[in-house]
Chains A and B, each alone.
Chain A
């Protein structure tokens, strides 16, 4: 590949970064609870994807490709860090604090993560993760099925059971609705 082609590839890839960096960062943040780790994961994924594919236009669905990559990277992260779901504001590491570009924004993010994770922890992980995909990452059930390699019916059912269970936990006296 000559220099100009490399240059064009990089410019093309920069547009991909701009388009997806916020979504991918949010995805990784809600699976790690750490802005610094989420940033590292997203950066690594972008670099690996660029080196593998160079021209994003050559991939039929770049969004799906990126999210599959980030989902795998986050799964690896979880394997290496068993207590990931216990992260909370008090446990912010020294590195985390130093890392912050905007301390107050990061604290608000951490607080929001803690609030949502407290609820999702009440669910089996596969239901919690489906809910993260649908509500936090704002993906359609078809997109979630594509990324997870599962059927749309399975995904919908996990989401429905998860939401139902949460509603009952939050409001136990009232039988909210029956699943069909």
Chain B
């Protein structure tokens, strides 16, 4: 290559769009030509000087605002033509509200009892102990992560068939601890005294005591030391597969565990993290022992599906305290209590009978006869249920079963909707509350 060719190729080199042969020739020429070498390096210097040194990312609210706007215009579009809200969306919204007070349906799989006694496991255990100590230096943290879950649903579910959904967590450990977790359609904030859930799509706000489970299993992400403690216990006992290695200043720890729970009926198998064989892959900074990344994979038929991934963790940055509050519209509907549950249906009735009552209520669009059964549904979701289930006919109610680590009972059913559609689904009922009364928990 001569100087003219070299100068012609400089911009292509900067673009990275030259073939291997040209690249080699260009680099060979630069070695022997000081002028071309200086010119190319200076061009790269200017490019470097003009490159932003700060990460410029779209604000969290950008996507949310666009989707909210498009969602609301779609709703107007549909209602304007007398159409019904799509069933899948409807069910999701109902389930979302339904799951709010029921506590943890899916718990993160850090509670295994089987571990490994190998040297790797011992080394991992020592490292995790150091990682726990290192968390003392964290004054605040921000985590960007993705979860394979449903947009506009609560924070509990993980589903292999869903897309990865962007989440953000920000937390300050100054007393009282405050935090915020959000994804499209859901924001949960704890101001140290209460937790608040805001669902913009339904214009609903929930206020609960500070120790509520509005973010379900994601609670554990707020407490890295506990995660490491559970994993340390896991590593010290026998059974799990542990891999540990050092790479580019990072320490990687991978822990593979078997599914936990009762899978005589495998309805829940593979639908939750603990209900699946899974692998957690941690990345720590070897020096600071602070966590930099985490990936969780569900394992099925020798195939790994990534269901959770930390994209970025930032520690001890300047945090604006406004982030721990939510501005709400004036006419927001507040939901603070769920009625007197003590008058509900006692647990002496069996799940199949309760399912029949619930499906009958839906058919009559009457939620007053067994109102405690529907305690988790608010006026809006009941109204939507009435519109869609009034006049439906029960075709079949199957045998109740338990599956996985879900605390409730599943009851399969078939009903014919007024539209003529034969719906076959599984109702989720639970009575693991203080009063031992039955509640409809989902599956409609």
Segment at the interface with A among B38-46, B253-261, B422-430: B38-46
The 8 Å CB contact of B65, one of A2, A6, A43, A170, is: A43
* Contacting pair B70 A141 (CB below 8 A): no
* Contacting pair B71 A180 (CB below 8 A): no
Assess whether B85 is interfacial by the CB under 8 Å rule: yes
Question: DSSP majority for the A interface?
Answer: helix
Nearest-neighbour CB distance to chain B for A141, whole angstroms, equals: 6
Q: How far is the CA of A22 from the CA of B166 in the complex (A)?
A: 13
- Taking residues whose C-beta sits less than 8 angstroms from the other chain, chain B's interface range is 35 or more
Assess whether B51 is interfacial by the CB under 8 Å rule: yes
Segment at the interface with B among A58-66, A67-75, A96-104: A96-104
Q: How far is the CA of A140 from the CA of B14 in the complex (A)?
A: 9
Q: How far is the CA of A24 from the CA of B163 in the complex (A)?
A: 22
Q: How far is the CA of A160 from the CA of B67 in the complex (A)?
A: 41
Nearest-neighbour CB distance to chain B for A45, whole angstroms, equals: 9
Segment at the interface with A among B76-84, B285-293, B404-412: B76-84
Q: What 1/0 flags go to A158-180 for Cβ under 8 Å of B?
A: 01100100110010000011001
* Contacting pair A3 B78 (CB below 8 A): yes
Q: What 1/0 flags go to A134-156 for Cβ under 8 Å of B?
A: 11100011100000000000001
Segment at the interface with A among B52-60, B238-246, B433-441: B52-60
Residues of chain A contacted by B57 (CB below 8 angstroms): 22, 25-26
Assess whether B137 is interfacial by the CB under 8 Å rule: no
Assess whether B369 is interfacial by the CB under 8 Å rule: no
The 8 Å CB contact of A25, one of B58, B65, B78, B163, is: B58
The 8 Å CB contact of B38, one of A13, A160, A176, is: A176
* Contacting pair B11 A141 (CB below 8 A): yes
Within 8 A of B (CB), among A81-140: 100-105, 108-109, 111-112, 116, 119-120, 131, 134-136, 140
* Contacting pair B78 A112 (CB below 8 A): no
Nearest-neighbour CB distance to chain B for A73, whole angstroms, equals: 14
* Contacting pair A159 B11 (CB below 8 A): yes
Nearest-neighbour CB distance to chain B for A59, whole angstroms, equals: 17
The 8 Å CB contact of B85, one of A3, A50, A109, A159, is: A3
Within 8 A of A (CB), among B159-186: 163, 166, 184
Q: How far is the CA of A66 from the CA of B334 in the complex (A)?
A: 39
Residues of chain A contacted by B59 (CB below 8 angstroms): 25, 35, 39, 101
